[in-house]
Structure 1
Amino acid sequence: MKTLVVILMLVSFNFNSHAQLITELEETRIDYSPLIFTETNNPDEYLYKIKDDHTFDFLKNPMAFMESYFDISQFIEQVGHKNYDSYLVRFSTDKGFLEANYSKDGELKRTRQHFKNIALPLAVRNELWRQTRGWSMLKNSYVAKGNGRLLEKELYRIKVVHNDKTKVIKIDPKELNKEPVAGM
Structure 2
Amino acid sequence: MKNLIITLIITACTAISFAQEKTVALEEVEVTGVNYKYLDALGDGFVAKPVKILEQKVANFDLTSIDGYEDEENEYFVYFKIPVGKILAVYDKDGEIMRTSEKFKDIRLPLAVSNAIVEKYPGWSIEGDIYLVKYIKDEKISKTYKLFLQKNGEHKRVKTDDNGNFL
What TM-score results when the alignment is normalised by the length of structure 1? 0.55
Contact 2:59/2:97 (<8 A) preserved: no
The answer to whether structure 1 residue 59 and structure 2 residue 85 are counterparts is no
Cα distance in structure 2, aligned partners of 1:130 and 1:85: 48
Q: Could you tell me which of 94, 100, 113 is aligned with 2:83?
A: 94
The answer to whether structure 1 residue 110 and structure 2 residue 99 are counterparts is yes
Distance 1:175 1:167, change over 3 A: closer
Contact 1:142/1:157 (<8 A) preserved: yes
Structure 2 spans left out of the alignment, 5+ residues: 1-47
Cα distance in structure 2, aligned partners of 1:151 and 1:118: 23
Question: Shift of the alpha carbon at 1:63?
Answer: 2.3
Structure 1 spans left out of the alignment, 5+ residues: 1-55, 177-184
Query: Runs (4+) of structure 1 moved beyond 6 Å?
Result: none
Q: What is the number of equivalent residue pairs in this alignment?
A: 118
Structure 1 equivalent of residue 65 of structure 2: 75
How large is the RMSD of aligned CA atoms in angstroms?
2.5
Q: For residue 123 of structure 2, give the secondary structure of its aligned residue in structure 1.
A: coil
Letter in 2 for 1:156: Y
The answer to whether structure 1 residue 130 and structure 2 residue 122 are counterparts is no
Distance 1:57 1:174, change over 3 A: closer
Q: For residue 67 of structure 1, give the secondary structure of its aligned residue in structure 2.
A: helix
Cα distance in structure 2, aligned partners of 1:175 and 1:132: 13
Cα distance in structure 2, aligned partners of 1:125 and 1:150: 27
CA displacement 1:31-82 (0-9 Å, x = unmatched) = xxxxxxxxxxxxxxxxxxxxxxxxx7432453234224x223x336x53348
Distance 1:110 1:140, change over 3 A: same
Cα distance in structure 2, aligned partners of 1:67 and 1:58: 14
Q: Which structure has the larger Rg over C-alpha atoms?
A: 1
